[in-house]
Structure 1
């Protein structure tokens, strides 16, 4: 491991590098643009491009790319070299302001949901100067936004940037009404916790399901799983420790503040967390975290699995999206202070979040998921699919008082005495934590715990930002018209709590009792991504995003089409893989094993010895019966897949894949997993769960 202080940010064109290399006037102009979120002065582009080019070449770069985030869920890159050949034939290295500011990647092959036809290829990337450029794999990467020829967003960054600005504008209105005259802008601060699995590459390469789909489509439970809870926070194995050390080095070079790492609950599962940063930068950083986890794993003979549910029967992976709001002069707007009942500023912003989450629970459920997350949400390993907010005892008590008219006191923290004299007495937090809550307050931030482990955090944050901004806009309208602002705040708090208290739940979200209680409260329980997709075209959600200019109606409908298409393609690939593995690997292995058993029976008979052959006959009978069931279930799956593929309506097709094809995949798996428990390991065609989970 290198010296952290020396390498941190060494591959980033950050503020220190800009200050050193840019002319003073250019630096100040660009700095003001970044800090105050002002329109970019194009006149500075040539100076910045020249400095960026020279810096990158010194780092060994020969090419540059506009690094962007299309609606594929991963990043995209197209590299151009710095080489330019003048008329005399001498090679020189050039990079202009025009090349820095604007790129033109082919937009026809990226998902657009009907915004772009295949024949309409032109798209644009635009330099996002608020996210620093960096050198990766010896190439200069310039973070950019990606839009169509007609201006619609074809990426996740544009709506995130728009939502951040909208939230800032509305939050400043509220702060001004409350008497704050100094803060210039409000930013969202995000700290994602990234979960992932590591498996040995030699076993991964033998599993077509992992290669094609990222998850195991077959696999009987091993004798030991996670039931002893011995992996959680356990000693990190040397091989994994070496991998983590290299990951940290790579991230630190990119200025990404990787801080926390540990073993997670499931065997083979781990987590990495970064320090809070501004929402847009946090999103870019998390994309790089996922990329680097995968690349570094390969260098250690490992494969990093980011799928939400790589293995059935044990915990899957999520991404906890820790979110807060803060002013440019350092005030965390979600910090309750020692006496939250007196902190009107905190209470009004907290109430705005509660109202937003209650009103827009359906679309928050949608943007926090993907096809893989359907396996987790609602299970006893992840937040339930029902959106609720955990506030904790202290704030729940304050909320109860506000509902009645006014809060006059707050529960205070106590001292924890372990009873061991040599141990220090510890100051307890004012409230416990709740790991079953989808949206939990954790001291000075909210933790959106539902987000999918393999997904970008951009859209979940864009929707959350916009929903909260809308509530702040309504609050600002009221406060700006009020003759007595303090009295109006009290009235607003009571109204908001009464209207939206149903979304507050501090109990165990895993219980059946909560499901029943949530139904009584009228909270939506949207169990699948397909059903949740309707939120993208629901009138109230379309109006919300269009009102604030974050996504137009056309862009929302495009994302609806993309969501359904992605789901359909994902399940189709899984179905085809299930069928192929069953027919070309499992069935031949089972038949070979059956032949061996039959041969054993015949060989023993041939000896003339009157042996008891009941065991062999029972095994042969059971295996043969299960093989027939497997073949029948595969045939049914093939038929269902063919039928679903013929459906023309996007929603109906996705529905068919989820409620017909997906269920028949499970039927195939159920039989195959029974066979795995019977067939000799010598015959089984691919590594088992025991091999995958306990060999790293």
Structure 2
């Protein structure tokens, strides 16, 4: 049966069309003013909306509602409440009030808070984000009305990822409108960042997944020898999608389309068993909500179909990991994309000013942008020949690079390169105009026509963090620019000079070459660009004085909120590596060592049996294999003892920067030393005797 996409798209969303149909005209008008212009919400309107939302949800089969929020765990949270309102006669009514819609009260002490909340301080609040539509979450066993919300403590501190994101969107909007007014735009009233996050993921067989403790507990393989073939033939990328995966993708798309998520593109990625989905752009906070639903839905649908979806940045060593390309642009309520250079970028002074602002923001705050893409899993990925290096740089492409060079060399730009005509040499193939610039997949922050693609973001991450940072640092630069331009006596000349001077001052951040090369690492060092190689080295950027000043100035974070997030990041890193180390110890002790000894014993018994049968039979091969196994087993056992020792020491340390660095520098290194002999043993022990599925089983047998 074919899916009727037009019929199901948005069918589980309490969107504008549903509100327009169900709400009285006056209530709808007031609700739109709140959503579009930030007008204060009328409590009476909230009651009307709540009633109609409840009726709509019940028609869809819902019995419960939840305030759906995004705590500092990086995943979503929900507490379900039934619509029931018991009556005194033993019956019940189904009710949902405006008060219940607007405010919820989850426990604020059981989520990570970085010291903002003590264990005994339990009260927290969720507040309805009416700019992101409510939706119905359908699973095989439940139908729940989900209301997107922000989450804060009793004292008002942001305990989630959405609140700072909304604050940063507001901060950027204020500064962008100031700039637009200087260019004569008096009619734009609303500005938002438009985001389209591509999502990479792996699919593996569920039965095989459940036989690997490392995948169950950590999301990645901690042991595993490479199979004879990996991704070196480049035959998986954009290849024919396997039928079992197509079945998953079809169901996955249907579920996303019901939620109003514009899943557009799907394909095989570079690594075996790796795939990607890309949506059409949406408003920043809605795109963030949608991406959380993409990850959650992918895992649920895969599980229903006997698969497991792996979102970890590096589930398998030796092949590509997964990222989440964050495509970011700035748009007005009049439909203008402020990052669209137009046909003649050298003449588009408004675009060039925004471009210059972004160059400066990324250059001056590269450490914050690097921090925003930091996760324990992303440490495995950044810098390898599959992802951007840990060095922040900007790719502009030939056309804009030429405009920039004209400003640097001549103080102005007088021309723009144009794309050439594509001519294949085959008469039957069409001719068309090529883009004016190529793309660069090695760049962490690349201009791709009318947007910037931040390619460093990890596949497990909420996109709230990188977008909060990006919005804020650009807002800060635009604020300074607006201050100076508003005080100018000759605005056109002041704009020209500001573009010229800013580009010249921050030209070092532009790099259009191969970001994977060793030469670029050396060149970046010469340019003075930071190379922050791991998460624990990135965290201090969050609490440095100038960062606190910027975020507080724009009302995005308070100093306490920033300090708390730094603490949470250190804790997250330490706990992640600790779980991985303990899992390795468990697998080594309970699975690999016993299986190896058992196989070794069978070899010894075989040798003894052969010798007993005939002393003339050569058993040197078996004995050499036994010696090789013994040597690696001994090395593994010594590495296991060392890992246990350093892990125990790390657990006893006080939480914070010192513990985080110890886990990175000592525990993680010990884990690597344990893995080496274990992976060698996998190649020596018979497959039938090895205690869990191999890489080949996982990535080539989906």
Specify the TM-score bucket, using the shorter chain as the normaliser: over 0.9
Q: For 2:465 and 2:684, how far apart are their aligned partners in 1?
A: 46
State the Cα distance separating 1:90 from its structure 2 match. Answer: 2.3
Q: Does the alignment pair 1:197 with 2:202?
A: yes
Which residue is equivalent to 2:571? 565
In structure 1, the partner of 2:389 is 384
Contact kept in structure 2, 1:45 and 1:98, CA below 8 Å: yes
> Does 1:86 find its partner at 2:92?
no
Match of 2:334 among 311, 329, 334: 329
Residues 62-105 of structure 1: per-residue CA shift (max 9 Å, x gap): 00000000000100000000000122332110000000000000
Counterpart position of 1:646:
652
> Which residue of 366, 370, 373 maps to 2:371?
366
Write the distance in 2 (CA, Å) between the matches of 1:633 and 1:373: 25
Shift of residue 43 of structure 1?
A: 3.1
Does the residue aligned with 1:682 lie in a helix, a strand or coil? helix
Residues 637-678 of structure 1: CA distance to partner in whole angstroms, max 9, x if unpaired?
000001111111510001000110000000000110001011
Where does residue 401 of structure 1 map in the other structure? 406
Kindly indicate whether the alpha-carbon contact (under 8 Å) linking 2:570 and 2:655 is maintained by their aligned counterparts in 1: no
**1:256: which partner in 2?**
261
Matches within 5 A, 1:111-150: 111-137=112-138, 138-150=143-155
Aligned partner of 2:103 in structure 1 is: 102
1:12 touches 1:135 (CA, 8 Å); kept in 2? yes
Counterparts of 2:279 and 2:689, CA distance in 1: 45
Q: Once the 2 structures are TM-superposed, how far is the Cα of residue 416 of structure 1 from its aligned partner?
A: 1.1
Cα distance in 1, alignment partners of residues 32 and 167 from structure 2: 19
Contact 2:217–2:583 under 8 Å retained in 1 = yes
CA RMSD of the aligned region, Å?
0.8
Per the TM alignment, residue 42 of structure 1 is displaced from its structure 2 partner at its CA by 2.9
> Partner residue of 1:603?
609
- Residue pair 1:571, 1:662 contacting (<8 A) in 2 also: yes
TM-score under structure 2 length normalisation: 0.98
Cα deviation for residue 426 of structure 1 reads 2.0
- The alignment covers a number of residue pairs equal to 696
Distance in 2 between residues matched to 1:446 and 1:628, nearest whole Å:
51
Partners of 2:374 and 2:538 within 8 A in 1 = no
Establish whether residue 556 from structure 1 lines up as the match of residue 562 from structure 2.
yes
Q: Which residue of 1 aligns with 2:15?
A: 14
SS at 2:688 equivalent: coil
Kept in 1, the 8 Å contact 2:411–2:500? The answer is yes
Residue 288 (structure 1) aligns with: 293
1:500 aligns with 2:501: no
Q: Residue 632 of structure 1 aligns with which residue?
A: 638
* Structure 2 residue matching 1:371: 3-state secondary structure: coil
Deviation for aligned residue 1:412 = 0.8
Contact preservation (8 Å) 1:178, 1:485 = no
Q: Is the Cα–Cα contact under 8 Å of residues 218 and 673 in structure 1 kept in the other structure?
A: yes
Deviations 1:95-148 (A, max 9, x none): 000000000000110000000000000000000000000111211100000000
1:177 to 170, 178, 182: 182
Give 2:598's aligned residue: 592
Aligned twin of 1:151: 156
Q: Which runs of 4+ in 1 moved over 3 A?
A: none
Report Cα offsets for 1:2-35 as digits up to 9, x if no partner: 2000000011000011011111111001111111
**Range moving further from structure 2, 150-159 or 640-649:** 640-649
1:619 equivalent in alignment to 2:620: no
Give structure 1 stretches of 5+ with no counterpart.
Answer: none
Does the CA contact (< 8 Å) of 2:389 and 2:516 recur in 1? yes
Distance of 1:227 and 1:158 partners within structure 2: 43
Matched, 1:412 2:413: no
Aligned to 1:242: 247
* Structure 2 counterparts to residues 158-173 of structure 1, below 5 A: 158-173=163-178
Cα deviation for residue 607 of structure 1 reads: 1.2
Provide the rounded CA distance (Å) in 2 between the counterparts of 1:88 and 1:672: 68
- C-alpha deviation, 1:401, in angstroms: 1.2
* Pair 1:60 & 2:65 matched: no
Q: C-alpha distance in 2, partners of 1:402/1:163? A: 31
Deviation at 1:485, TM superposition (A): 1.1
